[in-house]
Amino acid sequence: MLRPAIFLDRDGVINKDKGYIYKIDDFEWVEGAKESIKYLNDKGYYIFVVTNQSGIARGYYTIQDVILLHNYISDELNTIKAHIDEFFISPYHPINTNEYLHLSHLRKPETGMLDLAANKWSIDKSKSFLIGDKSTDMECAENFRIKGYLFKNGNLLDFIKTCINI
């Protein structure tokens, strides 16, 4: 059975973007983010995080560091009976074209992370959308042929209820 999906950028949408967040101590939820995920879970949406993590290619942190942070996010959401169905990351950045070149298709505005989700999960693209905070997120949504919503600041749940009208 097909279900709609919400693709969420991480830094700037779920957590405050302070630059290269990979430590739990540096992670700070965007207001209304946890509640938004619970709200969307309750509405029957798949929730996927699609995040460019160029800090990996730059050598600032490892994929394992990101996985540990994502496990923390999941644990925090579990306390309110909410969940993210899957996290997708792009470690690629043009600054380091050797180690992660084979993953360049994952980096937004390319659609690789969304394609991975669509190939694994039964997604109704006609009712799916992406929320991001950068133009590359909006380009990614357009390239994937879903709606994109630009979130700049404020309460994410209010944004979803008001601007997206779910």
Q: Return the CATH number at 109.
A: 3.40.50.1000
pLDDT, residue 102, reads: 81
Task: Give the residue numbers marked as catalytic.
Answer: 9, 11
| Tens-place pLDDT, residues 20-41 | 999 999 999 999 999 999 999 9
The answer to whether residues 25 and 31 touch, using CB atoms and an 8 Å cutoff, is no
Query: d(Cα 148, Cα 139) in Å, to the nearest integer?
Result: 8
pLDDT, residue 61, reads: 94
List the chain residues with pLDDT less than 70: 96-97
Between the alpha carbon of residue 104 and those of residues 14, 39, 116, the distances in Å are 24, 33, 13
Q: pLDDT over 90 for what percent of the chain?
A: 86
